[in-house]
Amino acid sequence: MQFGDRILQLAYHLAQWSETADGLTCTYLSPAHRAVAVEISSLMQSAGLETHLDAAANVVGRYPCKDANARTVIVGSHYDTVTNAGKYDGRLGILTGLLAAEQFVQSGKQLPFHLDVIAFSEEEGVRFAAPYIGSSAIAGRFDAALRDRRDAKGISLAEALCEARFDPKAIPALARRGADVCAYIEVHIEQGPVLLQSNLPVGIVTAIAGNSRFGVVVDGTAGHAGTVPMNFRHDAAAAAAEAILAVERRCSRPGLLGTVGRLSVPAGAINVIPSRCELSIDIRADDDELRHDAVKDVLAALDEIAERRGVRIKSAPLLDAPAVQCSPRLQDLIAQSIEQLGVQVFRLASGAGHDAVMLDGLTDIAMLFVRCGNGGVSHSPLETVTATDADLATRILIDVLERLPP
């Protein structure tokens, strides 16, 4: 367990910096976040990597190739967290990359490319409602308009960066050139139960699902709960309940995921027929045509519910992110490493978004999922990974990097 025990130890170590005393919360540019960045930088330096913090607060550690003009392989994930998070979401990928690079330093193994281990500063989108700030900067996809985005306290992204002694105007210069990058590889906890239920420690990600999100408002007619007969009602909440079931029914087909994650009855009262209901709809699939067909059918179902129940239903698109396909070449390379270590090869799609989404288009991307314990729960303090699985993931990563052509 050369790598696994140390990964768990370091994950616990990094979790001591938190915005909350009773759980792990580490949002972008908070004092806890800045402290974790300093500690990751120290760990990278101790591992023998050339290390710096860039203008977006990414921590970059390089194991350089002897050929200064060689291309670069990027390995990494994010170190920010959601509120009341687990210890391994994002950070598992940083630590596996760190220990792999450290192994090369200690053994003197020369690679035909520069190896950059990047701890991306922001992926979750918690503080500024904008995900992928760190990886979008590296990929040349940072939206400069985000510098004016404000958090719940009214602090702009630019102000937060300046307060942390970063230069927001320097972020565009972080963009890598596709010609200079060979590949991006991300190790990540699965955040679901598929590998656990399959009794497998790791899986190769085939694609990262596309995502359609909508905000929905249902307007009905308020009335007294004790005087309006059931067949005369235009109940917004009852219509919303049907909408939820329509999403569930349509997205129960293979390859689809549908969720209503927010639901509210503004100014609702126990003795009043709801006049308004607000909800969200999230539909995902790794096939964009499949996803768009599902969205079309769900929106048609909302129209039918509105007409039949005599309510008004308005929907507004919030997000339409295309699916991202992982490189077949890199998938096969990872499969060879898994087979050599005596483990069954298993492939699965990712329903969650990852930093790899941003790197797609810059270079070939690949992801290795690691089994999640406790029923597959993630974004929670109950999130777990075993030392054995973390150790295996690191060995797979090392083997892939040793055989990856420049």
CATH number at residue 222: 3.30.70.360
Which of 321, 344, 373 lies at the terminal end of a domain, its last residue? Answer: 321
Same-domain status, 129 and 254: no
pLDDT on residue 279: 98
Stretch 215-243: mean pLDDT? 98
pLDDT band at 220 (very low <50, low <70, confident <90, very high): very high
Same-domain status, 78 and 93: yes
DSSP string, 225-286: TTTS-GGG---HHHHHHHHHHHHHHHTTSTTEEEE---EE-TT--TTEE-SEEEEEEEEEES
Same-domain status, 249 and 398: no
Same-domain status, 285 and 357: no
Residue 1 has pLDDT above 80, yes or no: no
Structure-token pair, residue 383: 């999130």
pLDDT on residue 208: 97
pTM for this predicted structure: 0.93
pLDDT on residue 71: 98
Same-domain status, 311 and 360: no
Same-domain status, 172 and 243: no
Same-domain status, 348 and 390: yes
Structure-token pair, residue 39: 């500690």
In whole angstroms, what is the distance from residue 283 CA to residue 285 CA? 7
Helices (H), 52-193: 91-107, 133-139, 157-163
Stretch 103-123: mean pLDDT? 97
- Looking at the structure of the chain, the number of domains it has is 2
- Asked whether the beta carbons of 1 and 99 are under 8 A apart, the reply is no
Same-domain status, 71 and 147: yes
Same-domain status, 79 and 203: yes
In whole angstroms, what is the distance from residue 47 CA to residue 104 CA? 10
Which of 321, 344, 374 lies at the terminal end of a domain, its last residue? Answer: 321
- pLDDT tens for 172-196 read 999 999 999 999 999 999 999 999 9
Helix axes 91-107, 31-46, angle to 10 degrees: 20
Q: What is the CATH number of the domain that holds 95?
A: 3.40.630.10
Which of 321, 356, 389 lies at the terminal end of a domain, its last residue? Answer: 321
Stretch 59-70: mean pLDDT? 97
pLDDT on residue 21: 87
- Percent share of the chain, pLDDT over 90: 98
| DSSP-derived pairing of the beta strands 181-189 and 72-78 | parallel
Same-domain status, 343 and 223: no
pLDDT on residue 22: 86
pLDDT on residue 2: 86
- Percent share of the chain, pLDDT over 70: 100
- pLDDT tens for 118-165 read 999 999 999 999 999 999 999 999 999 999 999 999 999 999 999 999
Same-domain status, 284 and 333: no
Domain that holds residue 238: 210-321
Same-domain status, 214 and 188: no
